[in-house]
Structure 1
Amino acid sequence: ATIASVEDPTRDDGRIVRSGDGSLERIVERKDATSEQRMQVHEFNVGLYCFDGSRLAAELEKIKDDNKAGEFYLTDVFLHLKPVTVVKLDDPNEAMGIKDRVRLARATGVLRRRILEQCMLGGVTIVDPESTFVDVTVTIGIDTVIEPFTVLKGATNIGSECRIGPHVYIEDARVGDRSDCGPFAKLRPGTEIAEDVHIGSFAELVRTKVGRGSRVPHVSYLGDTDLGADANIGAGTITANFDGTNKNRTEIGDGAFIGVDTMLVAPVKLGKGARTGAGSVVTKDVPDGATAVGVPARVIRRKS
């Protein structure tokens, strides 16, 4: 049989007790360890084993419960399976014992730090690794800066020379090169941000495509939206995409200018260069170059 061990004084699992020649004598569980063993033995069983299956079943029959816990210890099988090879792991973090939520958080922290280190070695600036959470499935381009309290999850792809955060949540979304997002922004699944885009404070986007050079500066919700290039979304703009039964799409053309506090009631389409006045409630399509104002909005100026 082969077992794995680790030298880690912080653990309190079964101790590896060796014979004078260095071979395994037995594994002593915490309750059964003597004071001397607890003080001097800091090599621990990590629970990884490789057995000769043809012998294991028969040897398991020999295990007894003559211990302080009154339990059948699987590790007692090594008293009968000989020889036993002990492989000592170099890194204690490779075999952390997770028995409660505290130790689960510690293990998660180790994995999170490894992910962030790989990002930094790849040319990404992580301003504060202690407050940044990046899934292993996320990709980030070179020279991008990730500000504190940013969470990147799932199949998210961040381009090069971007600035993300602080306090930004992105899941299963794409951000193009040289774009920035935040602070306090949320990109939900299905969102695709092109290059040179600005997503500002308190903006939330879901299943939305944003064209190159467009701006969603602050306090806006865009759901199920196709936003063209070089468009500007005024503060307080909302796409009313859910009618109680279905999610409907909004289309906003290249170069459109959406005034503050505009409500776009989907399905609706605003053409290239279209404009809305502040506080408008748009329920009907607005042609290319036209301006719509009011509640409900009406077209007051068309492109000549």
Structure 2
Amino acid sequence: MRSRIPKVLHPICGRPMIDWVLEAVHEAGAKHVTVIANPHQADVAAHLVDRAELVYQRDPKGTAHALQQIPAGELRGRQVLVVNGDSPLLTAASILKVLHAHQEAASPATIASVEDPSRDDGRVIRNRDGWLDHIVERKDATAEQRASVHEFNVGVYCFDGSRLVEELDKIKDDNKAGEFYLTDVFQHLKPVTIVKLEDLNEAMGVKDRVRLAKATDVMRRRLLERLMLGGVTIVDPDSTFIDALVTVGEDTVIEPFCVLKGNTQIGAGCRIGPHVYIEDARLGDRSDCGPFAKLRPGTEVGDDVHIGSFAELVRTKVGRGSRVPHVSYLGDTDLGEDANIGAGTITANFDGTNKNRTEIGDGAFVGVDTMLVAPVKLGKGARTGAGSVVTKDVPDGATAVGVPARVVRRKT
């Protein structure tokens, strides 16, 4: 990956790669999950605290050597499922397919494969009866095997744990890579059941940034399809990017070139975009946002709200029925219900040292090009004139104009 970030922590649609794998094995019913990790990758260990048991492979001598780091007593008498941590596209359904085939055949081992002429990984070599003879790794494949064999090992295995323990110690590193291949265990475990998967993408191992991009695109399309089947309209899936933890309500329309990230929540009957970026924010029912708008983390927008073009909100709460039509910045703001923010309004929330909040009351009307210098409060039903710079609180129902703004009319 050529990265300071451990490979399995690279994000795919907002989640670390390893999380997709863990989700799949848990959903498939795995009871006890162990992750074999590099001891030098402290970030991986920290990420997996309380989520999986960690075992360390101090010397990377191959996949069989990795499995040998688990005490034999934890493997004996169990069904042992082995999957690669860099296979984020693997689904629980495919894992279950392998597990069920393993149980029905009662064989000592079961593997998953795909038929894919475009791949160049470990090849599945079958005997005359169609059973697995052995698996030849890419570096050890002959020219004839590369040309004629297009069935590849996915990297999903199910073993009789007791038999696995017996055979692991027999594996040698007499290959071009000088590694202990887990696939060499099949020279001794016979017969081996082979389960062929239909979705070639599930076999993708993320080895570099090119495959990371491909895996992200596949996962992105899966997520979009799930949303569309759940009642969300995605106008152009090719230009829409939505993270895994984002929720979107029924009858919401997502226009082209939108990016929804993190724990964003979009209500029902909304319209988003085009060209909208929303991260860790919430938008209520029947609200709209965009085009060319940005909702940053900590923003909560109520029901029936209009956020217009070229607006940016961060750590801001917008009450029901309010309007932020266009070309405005609201930072650290509490905006009440049925209020209107004129074009070009800015809440100046940073004083050079601290971020301060601005409060705008229910029914307030902020004139175009107003600057509200926080901390400041604009009362309920209060108004500002165009181009005002508000540095002091404005009472309920009052009107303030000027630079600096002064109250020229009070509610009687």
**Same-fold call, TM > 0.5?**
yes
2:334 is aligned with 1:213: no
More moved, 187-196 vs 86-95: 86-95
Q: Could you tell me how far apart the structure 2 residues matched to 1:156 and 1:70 are? A: 48
Q: Could you tell me how far apart the structure 2 residues matched to 1:272 and 1:70 are? A: 75
Provide the residue aligned with 2:142 in structure 1.
Answer: 34
Of the candidates 122, 126, 130, which is equivalent to residue 14 of structure 1?
122
2:252 is aligned with 1:144: yes
Letter in 1 for 2:407: V
Aligned-pair CA distance for 1:210: 1.0
Letter in 1 for 2:236: D
Of the candidates 105, 110, 120, which is equivalent to residue 218 of structure 2?
110
Provide the residue aligned with 1:153 in structure 2.
Answer: 261
Of the candidates 174, 177, 184, which is equivalent to residue 66 of structure 1?
174
Q: Deviations over 1:153-197 (max 9, x none)?
A: 122111122110111111121111221101111111221111221
Classify the secondary structure of the residue corresponding to 2:147. Answer: helix
Q: Could you tell me how far apart the structure 2 residues matched to 1:239 and 1:30 are? A: 60
Aligned-pair CA distance for 1:32: 2.2
More moved, 218-227 vs 240-249: 240-249
Q: Deviations over 1:73-99 (max 9, x none)?
A: 231121122332222222222221221
Letter in 2 for 1:258: V
Of the candidates 338, 344, 357, which is equivalent to residue 249 of structure 1?
357
2:396 is aligned with 1:284: no
Provide the residue aligned with 2:295 in structure 1.
Answer: 187
Provide the residue aligned with 2:305 in structure 1.
Answer: 197
More moved, 36-45 vs 116-125: 36-45
What are the equivalent positions in structure 2 for 1:80-95 lying under 5 Å apart? 80-95=188-203
Percent identity over the alignment is 85
TM-score normalised by the chain length of structure 2? 0.70
Q: Deviations over 1:102-123 (max 9, x none)?
A: 1111111111101111111122
What are the equivalent positions in structure 2 for 1:257-296 lying under 5 Å apart? 257-296=365-404
More helix by share: 2
Runs (5+) with no aligned partner, structure 2: 1-108
Aligned-pair CA distance for 1:236: 1.6
Provide the residue aligned with 1:129 in structure 2.
Answer: 237
Q: Could you tell me how far apart the structure 1 residues matched to 2:164 and 2:251 are? A: 54
More moved, 15-24 vs 222-231: 222-231
Q: Could you tell me how far apart the structure 2 residues matched to 1:29 and 1:118 are? A: 36
Aligned-pair CA distance for 1:55: 4.2
More strand by share: 1
Letter in 1 for 2:298: G
Aligned-pair CA distance for 1:10: 1.8
Q: Could you tell me how far apart the structure 1 residues matched to 2:124 and 2:265 are? A: 45
Paired residues, number: 304
Point out which structure has higher relative CO (alpha carbons under 8 A, 6+ apart). Answer: 2
2:339 is aligned with 1:225: no
TM-score normalised by the chain length of structure 1? 0.94
Aligned-pair CA distance for 1:69: 3.8
Aligned-pair CA distance for 1:301: 0.9
Q: Could you tell me how far apart the structure 2 residues matched to 1:136 and 1:70 are? A: 39
